[in-house]
Structures are given as structure tokens and as C-alpha cells.
Amino acid sequence: MRTLNLVQAVREALDLALAKDERVLVFGEDVGRLGGVFRVTEGLQEKYGEGRVFDTPLAESGILGLAIGLAMGGMRPVAEIQFAGFLYPALDQILSHLGRWRHRSRGRVGLPVVVRAPYGGGVHTPEQHADSPEAILAHTPGVKVVIPSSPERAKGLLLAAIEDEDPVFFLEAIKLYRGSRAEVPEGYYTLPLGKARVLREGGAATLVGYGGMVEVMLEAAEVAAREGVEVTVVDLETLVPLDEDTLLEAVRETGRAIVVYEAMRTGGFGAEIAARIAEGALDYLQAPVLRVAGWDAPYPPFSAVEHHYRPNAKRVLAALRQVLTH
């Protein structure tokens, strides 16, 4: 089977969606002629024309407003926000309208909008380019939040998101774009939204994360295994709706949980995971739930100290020692 990186897998999914359904439109800043800042949409405008793959002004609120209007008119827009940290000017559209129309219209009007955005650090980007705002999106009623951790998962999940009848935010870890390759099935396939995956099983503790932190957790698990400590690794993949059954079952099996995410610690989605564990698995816990996260400060731009901010395997292993010696 051929291997693709995350950029190629997402591009292939968009290509297949555009070919399958004439209602699918792809647009955003520089996605047309340039092919996107990361070249995810490269070649799609040439193939499908300027009417279906097109550039927008540098106005994120306008991009979201356009997506909402097109969806209300029967189209299936896939909007790209150049970096997730640029979503903030669009929060009014997101918080006040995007997720509310299903409820506002008493179920009659859904908005099949997909908003793609690169997020997270690891590649020394300027200020705001490495932000991880998934907790803000997850706190928005009426939207789904999906964060894939590998090329093959990204392709199937994105196609499922485009088929969904309600808004989906699809965040893609910048660090993973060209950081690795994986076998990706050819042709059209979807993967279910709202399902977590157990990537590795072990009895000592459970590591829980998503997106760019999955490779960090797997690296830590590999190091721990060489020292005779086997851990379970859970890739949540979809934050909303959260697969609480898989999460709680994995934690109940080990009695110890470490949540790993690269957004700032306070108010991050990891706090929600810890709360769900406390509500559903408290009687099974042998140690407090720990969070390994970014610090409560803006992500350092262009910085040689970036590796101190973004969680790595060393910090995960330190947390693992802490829960094992509690």
C-alpha cells in the first residue's frame, strides 16, 4: 500500500469529496491559486475551477459567515482558517450562529459546514500560529470537534466530517503535516466520528490525548516499556462528541490516568477529561489524575524554548513516575 503524509491525505480527501458531490466548496485564505499556506489544497482549483475552490479576503469572520450562508443555501462548504489561532476574529459567527441553527430552527435547519485549521506547535512558528483553541470550540454548543493523529485517520475522518449534517471543526496538528508517513487506503472511505481508539494496552496507567500529542504518548510508552512498565494509550480523536465509554473503560482497567494536551493547562480540554474520569471512574483510581499540558502563558513564538512549553515524552514519563509512586 502507498504511504502518504498528513498533507497529502487531507488533500486526497478534499479531492474525493469535490469529485463526489458538486455541493462541496473549498475556500479560505490562499487556498486557491497558492494551494494553501501548507499546500494542502494544491492543484484543486486547477482541477475543479475557481467557482468551487477559491480564495477569500483576509477576514476570518467573513469566511465563517460565508460558510454559514452557503450551508443555509444547500451547499456543503469546507472552509480553511489558515491557523487555528486566527479563529478569534470569527468567534462571533461561531458562538452566536454556527452551532445554534439546528436549535434555533427547532431542528429544521442544520449547517453542514466543515472548518479546517492547522493548530499546535513544534515547528517554531510566529505568535498565534501555534495556538490550540480546541477547548473554546468544544465549549461551543452544536458543533463537533475532530483532531486526527495520523494520515489514514485524517482522510477517513475528514470525509465523514464533510458528510455530517452539522458543523465540524477539523483541527490538523502542524507538527504532523510532514513529520511522518503512513499507509493510507486508496479510494473513498469514512471513519466514524465520536469514537476513541486504544492504540496500546498495558496495566500500569492510561495515557489519554489527541492529535499531535499521540506520538508523544507513544514515545513515552515505548520508553516505559523498555523499563518494564506497560501503559495503555488512548487516542480520543473526537473531542465532541466524546467517547466516554472507551475513555472510562481504559482508566478503570489501570486505575491511573495522565491526560496530555498542548494547550495551556488552565481551562484546557484536559480538565474536562479529568472531570469525566472523576465522575465515572473515581472508585477505580489509585492516584490523582494528572495533566501534562502547555503552560499558562502565550505559546512562545520563534523560540528556542518552545520545547519547554510543548509537552514531550520526558514530561509524560515524569508524570508516570508520579502516579506510580503515589
Tell me the residue type at 299: Y
> How far apart are alpha carbons 143 and 296 in whole angstroms?
26
Among the residues of 141-265, which ranges form H helices? 151-163, 213-226, 244-254
- Say whether 197-325 and 2-184 share the same fold: yes
164 or 126: which leads in pLDDT: 164
Q: What is the per-residue pLDDT for 1?
A: 85
Give SS3 for 73.
Answer: coil
Q: What is the per-residue pLDDT for 301?
A: 86
Residue 141 DSSP symbol: T
Q: How distant, in Å, are the alpha carbons of 199, 235, 281 from that of 274? A: 20, 15, 10
User: For residue 124, what pLDDT band results from cuts at 50, 70 and 90?
Assistant: confident
> How far apart are alpha carbons 121 and 246 in whole angstroms?
27
* pLDDT > 90? residue 128: no
Q: What is the pTM of this model?
A: 0.97
Task: Count Cβ neighbours within 10 Å for each residue of 219-254 and write b for 16 or more, e otherwise.
Answer: ebbeebeeeebebbbbbbbbbbebbbebbbbbbbeb
| Average confidence score pLDDT of the chain | 96
Residue 94 DSSP symbol: I
> How far apart are alpha carbons 316 and 322 in whole angstroms?
10
Which three cell numbers mark 230?
A: 506497560
Q: What are the pLDDT digits (tens) for 23-36?
A: 999 999 999 999 99
CATH code of the domain occupying 197-325: 3.40.50.920
Write the CB contacts of 204 (distance below 8 Å, at least 6 apart in sequence).
Answer: 224, 229, 230, 231, 254, 256, 320, 324
Residue 129 a catalytic site member: yes
Antiparallel, parallel or unpaired: β 114-119 and 182-183? unpaired
User: For residue 265, what pLDDT band results from cuts at 50, 70 and 90?
Assistant: very high
Among the listed residues 97, 124, 129, 326, the single catalytic one is: 129
Domain ranges of the chain: 2-184, 197-325
Tell me the residue type at 245: D
**Beta bridge pairs of residue 44:** none
Residue 98 CB-half CA count within 13 A = 29
The yes/no answer on whether domain 2-184 falls in CATH 3.40.50.720 is no
Instruction: Check: CB of residue 324 under 8 Å from CB of residue 204.
Output: yes
Chain centre distance of CA 260: 13
Q: How distant, in Å, are the alpha carbons of 185, 203, 221, 222, 258 from that of 226? A: 32, 15, 9, 7, 19
Q: How distant, in Å, are the alpha carbons of 78, 124, 165, 217 from that of 161? A: 10, 29, 8, 26
Task: Give backbone dihedrals phi and psi of 155, rounded to 5 degrees, phi first.
Answer: -60, -50
* pLDDT > 90? residue 5: yes
* pLDDT > 90? residue 306: no
Q: What are the pLDDT digits (tens) for 231-256?
A: 999 999 999 999 999 999 999 999 99
Q: What are the pLDDT digits (tens) for 192-232?
A: 999 999 999 999 999 999 999 999 999 999 999 999 999 99
Which three cell numbers mark 17?
A: 469529496
Lowest-pLDDT range of 52-56, 93-97, 118-122, 298-302 = 298-302
Instruction: Give residue 19's region: left, alpha or beta (phi > 0; psi -120 to 50).
Output: alpha
